[in-house]
Structure 1
Amino acid sequence: MASTASGASRLPLAWLRLLLLGWLFAVVSQTTCASNGLQPLSDADREAVAGYFTADADGFYGSLQETYHALRALEILEQSNVESQKICDSLVGLVQAPHDSVEDAFHVVRIAEVLQCPHGAEVAKVIVPSLQAAVEKAKSLLELHYSVATIAIIKGWSSKSASFNDALSGVFSSLKELAGPDGTWHYTKSSSESSAKAAGLYTFFSFPTTAIAYHVIGHIKTAAIKLFDNLESHDQGVFYFQESKDDASSGGGGTLEATWAVLRGSAALAAVLPAKLKVEVEKVFGIAKFLLTPGLALSATEAFYQLDSLSVLEEYRPAVPVSVQTSSILSLSSNDNLEVAVTTVLGKPVSQVKVTLVSAHCIGADAPPVWSSQNLNYVENSGKYVFHFLSATTDLGKYKLRLEVCSVKSEGHSSYMSGGPVKSDITVISAIGISDIQLAVLDSSTGISDFSAVLEYGKDENITLSANHLQKLRLSLKLTSPSGSPFNPQQVFLKLVHESHVEHLYLVKSSTKGFQLTLDFLGLVEKLQYLSGTYNVVLIVGDMTMENSFVWTLASLDLDLPAAPEGKPLPPEAPLEITARVGSKPEIAHIFRQPEKRPPTLLSNIFLSLTLLPLIGFFIGLGCLGANIKLFPMTGLPGVAAVGFHGAVASILVLYFLFWLKLDLFTTLKVLGFLGLCTLPPGHFILSYLADSSAKQKTA
């Protein structure tokens, strides 16, 4: 377990619970923000974030800082799989060992505080004296931060700790020199840029007791208000603090860490202010939007900053940002209720609010609002509010709702803000009525009906019609909503399907009397490709708000069309059925060619032996010619060259053998070219050496 430095810090949890977090934002009587855009942490989000934290064999999660981040994040996520006792036992040795930096002591104390380890007196006895000395020697904001904040935690942790007021003497006068004109602070006197994160760290540790804070409260409050003027904005009302470019002194950071530091510091400041900070509610809601941006946490450290910041927003007073989410689909047939879920940014249900449905307008209709100023009823222990939205006056379709969320006064003097009037869309679905369905075959010239049939929806009547090219086919029907008003769905088509699977699709248009379509076969002869035969007459009706969208075969039509003129191209072949296109194909039985007859194995071995005879003859010939290796150099560079040359020649022979076994020609040529280049230098050297040696012997 290693201890690493970090510029991050956290308001002590035990102390935080004692504060009512009088927090930084004033309550406004009327909110003017745009529609709600908060998406709180879901169960899947919690599971994904918890996956960032994995304990080591000793129960820790890496360094001291990483361990604190993990423990605090798991505490917010209400995870209980933490080996608290093992970590607390390990901290005893860390507390009693001498510390080279107050940052180590800072992280040790924070870990012990989260786990509520029973070692407060030991920590105070060992650490406080060194922390008091560190306060006097501190030359930067971070050094003061680690020492002062640690003493503050210990004092809240153990009442037997040393006096905190003595440790803070002279701190505020030193810090004034680091203050910037815009509410930001410098880490050191030599820092070229001020930082929003530094300002958050300053307010974080400067107010653990009111006795010291009050004499500088006016100066600090003014600086804090100015700090919120530095908020960066983004589209859709997102606000955040941007860290300065020159942040080397603090060990890095970023937008998320800077925003976290300001939130934590502002909470500490608000706890000791006699009056609340006047910061716009829109900015609070914008910060909540930033912290809930999908994919914001990309590491365990970022997950801690995100969760801890959200926990501040969830606990602060007097206005907690909440998410308001409505039902997306209601069904008239099941008589659903309109359901509105109100949760905090961490997904906890909220019951101390009053949800009012201000208005509900049907999208695309000029009718007056369906509902106006109706309160929703709270369902116990659910965080959900319900209202019987569906009634006799409610029709299927899309509705735009406008909701208002107002806080109910409670003993904790807490209130909640939804970011202003919440606008939401819902879809009401239902089964429509299909009536007055009539199919008729008419005479083209007179319009007199030669045949007519009235159909009833839902019944398969197997109607058969006959027509020729001098007649017409007419379809009429009525579609009504549950309220009895005419309904115009998104799709109403009539399809003629020939027995050869050739299809023709026609749009059925609406009118004041319902839906009607007339097909004049004389004008459709060419489009029908002169195909006589049996057609299926199919009605298609569909809409996203319909529960009973359907494809219905109305009748069978025997159509007699004239023959196609000479030279007229034949109609295209009928498309294959889907099963014929993607179904199983017939099995292909393949028989390989019978292998050629081969000679017996004995004969092949005899032939192999005969191929080795030239090699044997080669060695015999060398002996007859008097070849020897007496002149083979054995030492020095000539010896190396001789071995390299013969080795390269042997490699070429091995390559030929491999080519005979399995290598292809291209691979063999590539390797052969490389071996040839390797053979040339040693071969040239050794042959030159032997020639020189032979010339010297002859001269001698």
Structure 2
Amino acid sequence: MAKGTTILYLFAVAVLGQALTPSTFLTTVDKERLRAVFEAAQPYTDAANAHYSILGLKLLGATIAKEQDVCKSVTSTLKSDNVESWFHASKAAAALSSCKLPVGNAEKLLNEAVSAGGSVAAIYYAFFALKNLGLPVDNAKITAALSEALKSDDSPLSHSYAFHVATEIGGAELGKYFDLIEDIIAQADEVDGVYLQFEGGLSVTAAILESAYKLAGKHGKAPTISEDKVLKFANYLLSRKHVQRLKSAYELLAAAAILSNNKFHIPLCVTLSSSIAVSQSKPTVQVRVSDMLGGSLGKTTVTADSAKNLGDQSVVVNKKQFKDTSDESLFEMDFMANKPSSGFYKVTVSVTPAKADARLIGTSGAAVTVKVTTQVSLDNVEIGVADKDQASAPKPVRVQHPQKVGQVLEADFHQKVIMKFSLTDKTGGAMFRAHQTFVKLTNLESKQEIIFVAESDSSNNYKFELNVGGSAKDFGFKTGKYSLELVIGDAVIENPIAWTVADVALTFQDGPAATEKPDQYAKKPEIKHMFREPEKRPSQSVSMAFTVLVLVPIAILFLCWMKIGVNIANFPFSISAIGFHVCLAAVFSLYYCYWTHLDMFQTLRYLGFLGVPTFIFGNRMLSSIAAKRKGEKS
């Protein structure tokens, strides 16, 4: 058995990710979930919800109960002044029998939406609303407006609207828009080499696929989409099959329906129908071959081209045919008849229809994962105590699983506990190497657990050694009786083992008192931000000297004013001038307060309040002075 089975399993998933053939489909459970999404929209309060719900139920083949009541509900949701509402309501009404919407001013409103300046979406809504209501449609006007609108918005979603309109109009428009399909598909983004989607996600991707295949069907030519791209689109759609939004659920179902029933491309879905695990008691592998909706593809032959062990790369199956079952889509094979060893296998499958069908794609290279499980036995189990320096040979005690050693083993800090064992594959009889082999020691008094790993050698024999003195810190220097338990597990083991082998009395040398580990999930103390401690202020004499030096220029200013005089004749005694100087004085006073006792945040808050009137008064004062000077010059 190769080491690291779980790692190999992850590798298997990565390898299978490169197989483009879808490995899932919309199962009965998936359809029931989608049906519940559609039914949850009732009673309808919005025309769009009615549209997606009713058409979604129709795609699932469900019967719409009380259609007349549903028709009244759809009519009540209609907004007569909204083009999009007319589109959704008319779509819903058309899906019901004998449901007629009151036309009213619809013809005028919808024809006005088809204008040279209208958006592609508005033209699409108006066109189909007119068609659904049975009102006359000017195809030439629609075509001209659509071409003009695409010049300003050539996004993939806008082209999907145009494809739908061109499909309905037909004629020369078919070829014109059919040639654009290849360019639009080229804009899709590839993810992980397996998925293909458009920016905008499921809505845009589903809309483009549905419209492109409808347009191609009307034109009678296969769309220019390579088979691998179709498979990647199918993989993306199926990866979104758990959607819960009403609109997304309908779009997913509509796109899956068109990829399951069209004239050109139908992706196969090869799914593992049985459990991933096979064993001697359950040797059968079943695969289901269907379209995306789970529909049968008719009589087919399914062959396992190969089954490769992902560990040692051995091939145990080569060109072996699956057997038919009563279900036309289900095929089975006795995998254990090939005598595979335990491990993970990649089974490559090819499908050949009884009647040639060029539409089917993904008929080869499909892959499913199979896990061959086995039971193991514990053999040659020995446990004993020996001196650390091995001056004396250990005295092992042999024990059979699931029995427990009858005596308590005693070991002090000069000794070590040794346990040896091996694992045997019961099916093939070969030595087995498990991915998880642990030895757990539990203090019988405190219930504290310490877990160690048992390592295997090159012959797959396991050995565990516990140096009592060297491990004292791990045990918190806590002397006492411990339960020694062997835990063995692996992804391919059917009978994982948790076996209490013996009780061991461990004696440790004196050490620091054992303390309980703090609870990492306990409530932590609140973290509060603390400002940095202010630096030590200078002495009072230094501060006073500095203050005097700062005030010297002000004293010089007043002395100069006394000597040369002060001219205040030009001071404008107005509200703005007085207010500005008062506010300016308040700002300087605030600076003084900041110097003495305010902190930065308090100062900024007060400055914010003072700044607004200071700016307003100052602006008005300067404006009046400038206006006065301008008048004097003139």
What is the match of residue 406 of structure 1? 351
CA distance in 2: counterparts of 1:418 and 1:102, whole angstroms: 42
What is the match of residue 9 of structure 1? none
| Contact 1:406-1:416 within 8 A present in 2 as well | no
CA distance in 2: counterparts of 1:52 and 1:492, whole angstroms: 50
From 254, 265, 276, give the equivalent of 2:211: 265
Aligned amino acid, residue 149 of structure 2: Y
What is the match of residue 200 of structure 1? 160
CA distance in 2: counterparts of 1:287 and 1:356, whole angstroms: 25
CA distance in 1: counterparts of 2:368 and 2:478, whole angstroms: 52
Shift of 1:551: 2.8
Shift of 1:342: 4.0
What is the match of residue 530 of structure 2? none
Residue 175 of structure 2 corresponds to residue 175 of structure 1: no
Q: 1:571 to 1:361 in 2, by over 3 A?
A: farther
What is the match of residue 37 of structure 2? 51
Residue 25 of structure 2 corresponds to residue 80 of structure 1: no
What is the match of residue 368 of structure 1? 314
From 443, 447, 454, give the equivalent of 1:508: 454
| Contact 2:351-2:364 within 8 A present in 1 as well | no
What is the match of residue 282 of structure 1? 228
Shift of 1:401: 0.9
Tell me the SS of whatever aligns to 1:272. helix
| Contact 2:346-2:369 within 8 A present in 1 as well | yes
Tell me the SS of whatever aligns to 1:325. strand
| Contact 2:486-2:498 within 8 A present in 1 as well | yes
What is the match of residue 601 of structure 1? none
Shift of 1:432: 0.4
| Contact 1:33-1:421 within 8 A present in 2 as well | no
CA distance in 2: counterparts of 1:334 and 1:393, whole angstroms: 13
Q: 1:257 to 1:445 in 2, by over 3 A?
A: closer
Stretch moving more, 550-559 or 312-321: 550-559
What is the match of residue 428 of structure 2? 483
Q: 1:266 to 1:152 in 2, by over 3 A?
A: farther
Aligned amino acid, residue 114 of structure 1: A
From 95, 102, 106, give the equivalent of 1:114: 95
CA distance in 2: counterparts of 1:73 and 1:374, whole angstroms: 41
Give % identity.
18
**Aligned pairs, how many?**
492
Residue 494 of structure 2 corresponds to residue 547 of structure 1: yes
| Contact 1:142-1:187 within 8 A present in 2 as well | no
Tell me the SS of whatever aligns to 2:277. strand
CA distance in 2: counterparts of 1:66 and 1:518, whole angstroms: 65
| CA deviation vs aligned residue, 1:133-187 (integer Å, no higher than 9, x gap) | 98899545678756765787799xxxxxx9xxxx78x8359736854xxxxxx43
CA distance in 1: counterparts of 2:54 and 2:218, whole angstroms: 27
| CA deviation vs aligned residue, 1:4-40 (integer Å, no higher than 9, x gap) | xxxxxxxxxxxxxxxxxxxxxxxxxxxx974456654
Aligned amino acid, residue 95 of structure 2: V
What is the match of residue 379 of structure 2? 435
After superposition, residues 496-645 of structure 1 pair within 5 angstroms as 507-512=453-458, 514-517=460-463, 519=465, 536-556=483-503, 564=509, 568-569=510-511, 572=514
| Contact 2:166-2:173 within 8 A present in 1 as well | no
| Contact 1:468-1:521 within 8 A present in 2 as well | no
What is the match of residue 50 of structure 2? 67
Which protein has the larger Cα radius of gyration, Structure 1 or Structure 2? Answer: 1
Aligned amino acid, residue 70 of structure 1: S
After superposition, residues 183-262 of structure 1 pair within 5 angstroms as 186-187=148-149, 192-208=152-168, 213=171, 218-242=175-199, 256-262=202-208
| Contact 1:263-1:309 within 8 A present in 2 as well | yes
Aligned amino acid, residue 204 of structure 1: H
CA distance in 2: counterparts of 1:218 and 1:495, whole angstroms: 73
| CA deviation vs aligned residue, 1:257-286 (integer Å, no higher than 9, x gap) | 544443333233222334322311233233
Shift of 1:71: 0.6
Tell me the SS of whatever aligns to 1:551. strand
Aligned amino acid, residue 495 of structure 2: N
Residue 279 of structure 2 corresponds to residue 332 of structure 1: yes
| Contact 1:38-1:288 within 8 A present in 2 as well | no
| Contact 1:205-1:265 within 8 A present in 2 as well | no
CA distance in 2: counterparts of 1:427 and 1:377, whole angstroms: 20
Shift of 1:464: 5.7
| CA deviation vs aligned residue, 1:459-517 (integer Å, no higher than 9, x gap) | 45625667788877553322111211211112334456666567665543323555253
Q: 1:512 to 1:77 in 2, by over 3 A?
A: same
| CA deviation vs aligned residue, 1:187-241 (integer Å, no higher than 9, x gap) | 37xx6233433433333243458xx63x565444323333333334444443344
Q: 1:131 to 1:266 in 2, by over 3 A?
A: farther
| CA deviation vs aligned residue, 1:550-606 (integer Å, no higher than 9, x gap) | 2323345577x7x95xxx43664899xxxxxxxxxxxxxxxxxxxxxxxxxxxxxxx
| Contact 2:267-2:361 within 8 A present in 1 as well | yes
Task: In structure 1, list runs of 5 or more residues that go unmatched.
Answer: 1-31, 156-161, 180-185, 243-253, 576-700
CA distance in 1: counterparts of 2:458 and 2:84, whole angstroms: 80
Tell me the SS of whatever aligns to 1:370. strand
Residue 305 of structure 2 corresponds to residue 358 of structure 1: yes
Q: 1:433 to 1:55 in 2, by over 3 A?
A: closer
CA distance in 2: counterparts of 1:476 and 1:76, whole angstroms: 64
After superposition, residues 143-158 of structure 1 pair within 5 angstroms as 149=128
Shift of 1:370: 2.4
| Contact 1:407-1:416 within 8 A present in 2 as well | no
Aligned amino acid, residue 77 of structure 1: L
Q: 1:135 to 1:454 in 2, by over 3 A?
A: same
Instruction: Give me the TM-score of the superposition, normalised by structure 2.
Output: 0.61
CA distance in 1: counterparts of 2:502 and 2:65, whole angstroms: 70
Tell me the SS of whatever aligns to 2:181. helix
Task: In structure 2, list runs of 5 or more residues that go unmatched.
Answer: 1-16, 518-634
What is the match of residue 335 of structure 2? 389
CA distance in 1: counterparts of 2:360 and 2:391, whole angstroms: 70
Instruction: Give me the TM-score of the superposition, normalised by structure 1.
Output: 0.56
Shift of 1:407: 5.1
CA distance in 1: counterparts of 2:410 and 2:45, whole angstroms: 84
Shift of 1:74: 1.8
Q: 1:531 to 1:517 in 2, by over 3 A?
A: farther
Tell me the SS of whatever aligns to 1:187. helix
Q: CA RMSD in A?
A: 5.1
CA distance in 2: counterparts of 1:106 and 1:525, whole angstroms: 76
